[in-house]
Amino acid sequence: SRMGVTVETAIAGEQLGEPVGSIHVAPTDALRSTRVEAEELPLVIDEVPVLAMLGTHAPGETWFLGASELRVKESDRLAALVAGIRALGGHAAAESDDLVIAGGGLRGGVASSGGDHRVAMAFTVGSLAADRPSEVEGMEAAAVSFPGFVETLRSMGAGIEVVG
């Protein structure tokens, strides 16, 4: 609810040592930008890519402070997020180890996942609300953590085409 959405989860079991279930996300009154402090960041470090994409559609600026850990994940996620959001027609910058995202939406474009599964999925989800069709290079990386990602989005009505 911090960014203006309601998230409900229902854990159905466990698979490969990880909980599995369903997530229902619904808007509340209005999408809002937020500021994630450095001490909060470890609690959402793996969610930063998708939260950053949410931030591109929220009015104002969304900040992730002290995000240096993003530089040493499967890729330099901080650099990948800034480059990808810009490539998709949004506004993002890295100020030291802080990530700042300016709302206003995405115009559309071509972004590279850099081979990072979380970045690939985040760019794909964020692009669904872009003004024009977008392309995410390196989508095969999504299979690392979510083998049925594209098919799941298609089953929910997303118009996704896999090229190459």
Q: Are residues 127 and 138 located together in one domain of the fold?
A: yes
> What was the pLDDT predicted at 23?
84
The answer as to whether 132 is a domain residue is yes
Residue range of the domain that includes 81:
31-155
DSSP letter (8 states) at residue 2: T
Catalytic residue of the set 46, 76, 116, 131: 46
State pLDDT tens for residues 131-161.
999 999 999 999 999 999 999 999 999 988 8
Contact 123, 114 (CB under 8 A): no
Give Cβ neighbours of residue 3 (< 8 Å, ≥ 6 apart): 31, 32, 33, 34, 51, 54, 55, 58, 62
Residue 75 has pLDDT above 90, yes or no: no
Q: Is 116 a catalytic residue?
A: no
pLDDT band at 121 (very low <50, low <70, confident <90, very high): very high
- Which residue, 96, 88, 25, 95, is CA-closest to 61? 95
164 in a domain, yes or no?
no
Q: What is the arithmetic mean of pLDDT over 109-124?
A: 95
Distance CA 98, CA 36 (A): 10
CATH number of 75's domain: 3.65.10.10
